[in-house]
Structure 1
Amino acid sequence: MHEIKLGSYKGLKLPPVSMFSEDDLNLGAREAVKKLANQWAKNNMPAVYGDEVVIGLRAECDNMFVPELSNSNLKFTLGDPSVLEAFSQIINHKAGDDLVLSVTFPEGFTVERMGGKTVTFQIAIHEVNHRLPVELSDEIARQINPEVSGIDELQANLRKIISENWLQKIKEERIRSMIDAIASGSEYTLDQKEFQEVLDILNAQSQKELFSSGNPQNLEALMSGDNRMFETKNMALAEKTLVEELILTEIARLENIDISPEEIQEAKSFFLKTSPDKTQFSQLFPNDEFLGDYLFREKIIHALWKWNGCDIYGKSDYERIFTFQ
């Protein structure tokens, strides 16, 4: 059984947090617009001379497949003199287009059996990487996001998203610093059986992620049973997870913090009203118990947020759900 003797958790001296400025937001929004525009161009603008393309290439001659001249992922620059001139016909086509080219090779061609023969190339354009950045217009902005009127509104929307993401990151850093500060002033003993159970779960997740990565070195290490690459990290994470749970549970006991059935129903109404994806809500909170556990943690964090002057960084997630006067 875990045990904890809680240290101070109010009026903590926390390290300063670097806030972002209006200039940071404006720059971030401009860069985000450029990134979206370039991605749109890759998928929608036709290739021009000097662009890099990635194509799938299937060569056939006399109704027979020619493996020497085929390539599922050929990358080259349009206009490169080392590439067949016929491939310049890709110009004015875009990603997703297919075309067929016929090329008659001269006698003495590198692939001897193709000398003097006509080869048919079936081409699938996978990707077009434009040499020059796209000049964004209101029309392109509307194609990127049909709900905006033009560039200014697209940039304003991205600015808001970036601001929310940065603020959320700052909040997460403040929560982590609060928990770490409380832990450093507390005394605790972890139940080794429960610690091992959490560690086993984390290790299993790490193994699954490494297997899916396809990295040969990772796979070789996993097949040999060498878990050192993630076990040390997971041991620290398991301890942090259990200590945080201990701290929050003890604070809730001392401060008589609990979640009522009415709060659960109010939060459910809030999420279902504000979330565009009802399926995602069901996946996150398959029943009231999962939602109650989430709210319980957020309510304690909200209290810590107030006790330690962190409300200057914006509303806590708990406060976002419930209305406070």
Structure 2
Amino acid sequence: MHKFILGQYKNLSLAEPKGFDQKDLEKAVLESILNTVDIWCKQNTTVEEEDVIIIKVEAKERGVLVPEFCQNKLQYKVGDKSYLKEFMNAIGKKLGESFSMEINFDETCVIERIRNKKVSLYATITDVLYKKIPEITDDLVQKMETDCRTLDEMKEKYAAILKSRGLANIYQQKRDLVLKTIIENSSYEFDEDEFDQALNKIIEQTKMSIMNSSSPDIDRIMQINENDAYFRMECERVTRRMIMENLVINEICNMEQIEVTTEEFALEKAKYTEDEAASEEFTKYFPTDQSFELYLLREKVLHWLCLNNFNVH
């Protein structure tokens, strides 16, 4: 039996995290609308002169790759006279579309093997930074947001979404802070075998998460080795935190007699399994009823802790 001492967990009088005020909300709404306009333009607007485009370029001479001219992220301001006139072929194209260029190089070309030869360049537009954005009229709003008739309605919709996200963020901050505070005031003597078992699981989960990322970080991939000091230290920190959180949650469950009733379990499960697709996704995260019950129990304890430990200042 390992010694665990739970610190104070009630009446901590923690300060309520600050949300955004009306001025911040108005700024966030404007930024969100401009972002929506930008996305709409990229889907519906063609490139014009003085727009800045990011292009991926592939160059070939008689079907043979010319690597010196190949680029993944070439930034080009349409009409820039320091570029060959053929780059103007981008005009009239949209994001994701391609354009081609046939360029004849004379004897002055710095690459000897393509002097006096024709090189075919194929460019794909991967991003567009527009010099001008359209005026945000009610007509444009109706094209961007079919459930909004006016700009004011769009502002109201975005404000409601941002408020909801803001409240969710504040609630998450409260959960993190109350757990952190309780853990800092608690103590536990880690058993080496127990810790190593938990650490090995965290290491494997972290490796899988990094490798399966939609945009994996090469630097992190190079570090996913338990012999890498930084990687191991980070996994050890996560492991200690996980063990302490579980101990705190379990102890408070017992002391406060918090439980998930059969009715609560059924109701919550129904919310996550409304159709076949949702059920499949649910099973990935909660392969057993016990795993879902533990999740609900954790959520219930954290909610109880937030109610009992925050003061609004």
Q: Same fold (TM over 0.5)?
A: yes
TM-score (normalizing by structure 1): 0.79
Instruction: Report how far residue 279 of structure 1 moved.
Output: 4.2
Q: Which digits, 9 at most, give the CA deviation of each residue in 1:181-237, with x for residues without a partner?
A: 323433433333222222222223334455663535x555556x6422132233222
Counterpart amino acid of 2:304?
A
**Contact 1:58-1:65 at 8 Å conserved across structures:** no
Percent identical residues: 24
Cα distance between partner residues in 1 of 2:282 and 2:46 = 40
**Contact 2:223-2:231 at 8 Å conserved across structures:** no
Once the two structures are overlaid, the 10-residue window that deviates more, 107-116 or 201-210, is 107-116
Instruction: Report how far residue 260 of structure 1 moved.
Output: 2.1
- Within 5 Å, which residues of 2 pair with 1:158-307? 158-208=158-208, 213-215=216-218, 218=220, 220-222=222-224, 226-272=227-273, 277-307=278-308
Q: Number of paired residues? A: 309
**Contact 2:29-2:155 at 8 Å conserved across structures:** yes
Cα distance between partner residues in 2 of 1:210 and 1:127 = 26
Instruction: Report how far residue 59 of structure 1 moved.
Output: 4.6
**Contact 1:57-1:72 at 8 Å conserved across structures:** yes
Counterpart amino acid of 1:245?
N
Question: For residues 146 and 193 of structure 1, do their structure 2 counterparts lie closer, same or farther at Cα, with a shift above 3 Å needed?
Answer: farther
Cα distance between partner residues in 2 of 1:231 and 1:184 = 22
Cα distance between partner residues in 1 of 2:265 and 2:287 = 13
Q: CA RMSD in A?
A: 3.3
Give secondary structure in 2 for the equivalent of 1:53: strand
Cα distance between partner residues in 1 of 2:248 and 2:32 = 39
Cα distance between partner residues in 2 of 1:210 and 1:228 = 17
Instruction: Report how far residue 140 of structure 1 moved.
Output: 3.9
Question: For residues 96 and 268 of structure 1, do their structure 2 counterparts lie closer, same or farther at Cα, with a shift above 3 Å needed?
Answer: same
Determine the structure 1 residue equivalent to 2:51.
51
Question: For residues 248 and 52 of structure 1, do their structure 2 counterparts lie closer, same or farther at Cα, with a shift above 3 Å needed?
Answer: same
- Within 5 Å, which residues of 2 pair with 1:66-105? 67=66, 70-73=69-72, 74-105=74-105
Cα distance between partner residues in 1 of 2:223 and 2:58 = 37
**Contact 2:224-2:231 at 8 Å conserved across structures:** no
Q: Which runs of 5+ in 2 are unaligned?
A: none
Cα distance between partner residues in 1 of 2:119 and 2:228 = 52
**Contact 2:15-2:310 at 8 Å conserved across structures:** no
Cα distance between partner residues in 2 of 1:198 and 1:138 = 56
Instruction: Report how far residue 133 of structure 1 moved.
Output: 4.3
**Contact 1:43-1:128 at 8 Å conserved across structures:** no
Cα distance between partner residues in 2 of 1:268 and 1:222 = 35
Q: Which runs of 5+ in 1 are unaligned?
A: 314-325
**Contact 2:53-2:129 at 8 Å conserved across structures:** yes
Question: For residues 197 and 153 of structure 1, do their structure 2 counterparts lie closer, same or farther at Cα, with a shift above 3 Å needed?
Answer: farther
Give secondary structure in 2 for the equivalent of 1:12: coil
Question: For residues 193 and 169 of structure 1, do their structure 2 counterparts lie closer, same or farther at Cα, with a shift above 3 Å needed?
Answer: farther
Larger RCO (alpha carbons 8 Å, 6+ apart): 2
